[in-house]
Structure 1
């Protein structure tokens, strides 16, 4: 009859348990899940959303390769989102919340309240780059309800006032002498661009006569023909032209139209859209000379260039200059928070995000303020390391180069060929 050796059985059982623990550690079996709503189709925003997802993917891969967060791997849960409708936005956020994600990292939505309400219902930490006053006003309306929601950058109003500040600084630097002080604004009709236009006009009015509003021309997405706009620009002949529109493909079409028969001597600023990869791809040589800006973007300092190198090795081709770095930073910031908190304790995570100071590839992130949003340099702080620089780029020799603000500028402004 077979006789059980109790000592041998005990030793073998302990060994088996130990082996199983090594092979499948409990922490490794319990990943931290980061939800990333990403528009994968549609007429606008897809490039930005993909840039954000790429940046997050690169960061998560690096974190996991280094052992994860306290031994736990990070997993990303990506869901498609229709950013153009409240229903599509809510569906994506509810999907993520109900699936048990530990945080949501979103590049942006066009309609903030449905996303914020869906996240607030579960309390899940939600970090986003909406760049909208509407998001900040909603937070201020009920800070307790939206306590775990953070805008990683600043409001779009700084695009307007910051642009006028840039013009004054560029003129004072001696790099540019405007042919006149008139500013002609071409504005698209969504709330985002309307807020930027109003902020620009307010800053012009507050300039004490240094700048004058020359004209305002309305456009409607999709812009099929830039010829009427060109006629209006020629008629006004303003020293500064601001195209307040954010769709890269349409701005590329404008650049090509303008380059053929430009308004001579005018400085031309394209609001944000050239940051998207397809602008350079579509505009080609016509892109050279145009200026554009972003209130958050990837720096060209040592840290920023190291990130750019890694990103382009992983994702070859034309690189977006905004949501690539901010997505990467957001994942890294969350990982740092999770190292010292329980990811399942949403309020503890929210408190930690509120208290963090994190220097990333796109500047310094802090949220301990009345809107739980970023801080703009030089618009809200004089300290270059206390916020995110409002970067002004110029396309030079087919590349985006930072020309402002110091100390983050790579090169000086160069007059375009039509100037």
Structure 2
């Protein structure tokens, strides 16, 4: 068979044969896709996640990867899903049509939930940090959540508010995204179970910047804290407006406000008054956490944000499963991930029947000097 014909057939299978200089050795290219918001208000998170995967792929290629006695070269195929469900489904179809069989992302629950069907139909192995419980309740095989779910993030923030902060009267705001709604509902459920009164539940959008009317209503209810189910581009301005209105209430949230972007957008209105919950153990206390942070900083001239380590771990987890099965077949690799365990930087990845992590610690953070600072993990 001619070389061009062989290459065409392998490309259809998601692989590309590359002839080496000695004309006898070949290496197989395996593409790992990334779907995330690389433009718009959440681009800082999308790029950070992408860089986590990129660092893993660069390290693996530099070290040399062999699967079943054959050399493998990894390539990152990164696509901008804009944090938008329709765009995310289009990205999923593009990656699937291009023969990509491994994907890290999507980042947003509202994107991941509908895109999961496309990936499942194409036999793609997916590792996502999207936290809405509905993601894994859809029953798709080879879909793994490499992070705590909203159930864990929202409920543990509520437990901390009740037991440690001793709060009695709280309120909830959500941005009506799948992520924001899911997180807020889990907080509200646990808040009530823990004896707190939920004095109000307000709604905004993930494009809003003015929360004055909502916050004024909550001020009249004398709430001690507001839990925000949403993202830092809204959380930062919300913290400023809480201060401007003289509302004496803490601002609580999930992992998406546990970021330096929150401090940047909120300025001096973001400090000890803001607390957030993030899945995973503390990088500084994890065995390989400090080394990862140093490598990331050297490569990208920036500190890793919330989920860079999770994306780094996901790419490495894919490759470990390939080597365990001596195969790059997505079905075999997905089955190995489902049945096995991978020790990564951010935690131990072992999954239940739905694809959720069997154990995912949650860390509570506050802010100091515009940066998230860990308080405790549980």
What is the TM-score normalised by the length of structure 1?
A: 0.77
C-alpha contact 2:154 2:184 (8 A) present in aligned 1 = yes
Deviations 1:92-130 (A, max 9, x none): 222222222231221424244542222122212122222
**Alignment coverage as a number of residue pairs:** 354
Q: Which runs of 5+ in 1 are unaligned?
A: 1-19, 140-145, 172-177, 376-386, 407-419
Q: Which runs of 5+ in 2 are unaligned?
A: 1-18
Residue 404 of structure 1: how far off its partner (Å): 1.8
**2:328 matches 1:344:** yes
C-alpha contact 1:36 1:78 (8 A) present in aligned 2 = yes
**2:362 matches 1:364:** no
In 2, the alpha carbon distance for the partners of 1:221 and 1:295 equals 22
2:154 paired residue number: 160
Cα distance change, pair 167–400 in 1 and its aligned pair in 2 (3 A): same
In 1, the alpha carbon distance for the partners of 2:339 and 2:127 equals 14
Which of 145, 152, 166 aligns to 1:151? It is 145
- For 1:50, what is the secondary structure of its paired residue? helix
Residue 78 of structure 1: how far off its partner (Å): 2.0
2:362 paired residue number: 390
Residue 82 of structure 1: how far off its partner (Å): 4.5
Cα distance change, pair 102–213 in 1 and its aligned pair in 2 (3 A): closer
In 2, the alpha carbon distance for the partners of 1:31 and 1:224 equals 44
C-alpha contact 1:184 1:233 (8 A) present in aligned 2 = yes
Cα distance change, pair 217–39 in 1 and its aligned pair in 2 (3 A): closer
1:187 paired residue number: 174
In 2, the alpha carbon distance for the partners of 1:24 and 1:132 equals 49
In 2, the alpha carbon distance for the partners of 1:77 and 1:335 equals 16
Residue 349 of structure 1: how far off its partner (Å): 0.6
Residue 40 of structure 1: how far off its partner (Å): 2.7
Cα distance change, pair 239–38 in 1 and its aligned pair in 2 (3 A): closer
**2:371 matches 1:399:** yes
Residue 356 of structure 1: how far off its partner (Å): 2.1
C-alpha contact 1:103 1:126 (8 A) present in aligned 2 = yes
In 1, the alpha carbon distance for the partners of 2:282 and 2:98 equals 32
Indicate the structure with greater strand content: 2
**2:204 matches 1:219:** yes
What is the TM-score normalised by the length of structure 2?
A: 0.85
In 2, the alpha carbon distance for the partners of 1:304 and 1:345 equals 31
Residue 330 of structure 1: how far off its partner (Å): 0.5
In 1, the alpha carbon distance for the partners of 2:242 and 2:343 equals 39
1:417 paired residue number: none
**2:339 matches 1:355:** yes
Answer with 1 or 2: which has the greater Rg.
1
**2:263 matches 1:280:** yes
In 2, the alpha carbon distance for the partners of 1:374 and 1:27 equals 37
In 2, the alpha carbon distance for the partners of 1:25 and 1:389 equals 49
Cα distance change, pair 318–96 in 1 and its aligned pair in 2 (3 A): same
Residue 186 of structure 1: how far off its partner (Å): 2.0
2:310 paired residue number: 326
The equivalences for 1:187-206 within 5 A come to 187-206=174-193
In 2, the alpha carbon distance for the partners of 1:231 and 1:324 equals 37
Cα distance change, pair 132–339 in 1 and its aligned pair in 2 (3 A): same
Residue 159 of structure 1: how far off its partner (Å): 2.5
The equivalences for 1:3-402 within 5 A come to 23=22, 26-28=25-27, 30-42=28-40, 44-70=41-67, 71-86=71-86, 88-109=87-108, 110-139=110-139, 146-171=140-165, 178=166, 181-207=168-194, 210-246=195-231, 248-264=232-248, 266-289=249-272, 290-296=274-280, 299-301=283-285, 302-317=287-302, 319-320=304-305, 322-367=306-351, 369-375=352-358, 387-402=359-374
CA RMSD after TM alignment: 2.5
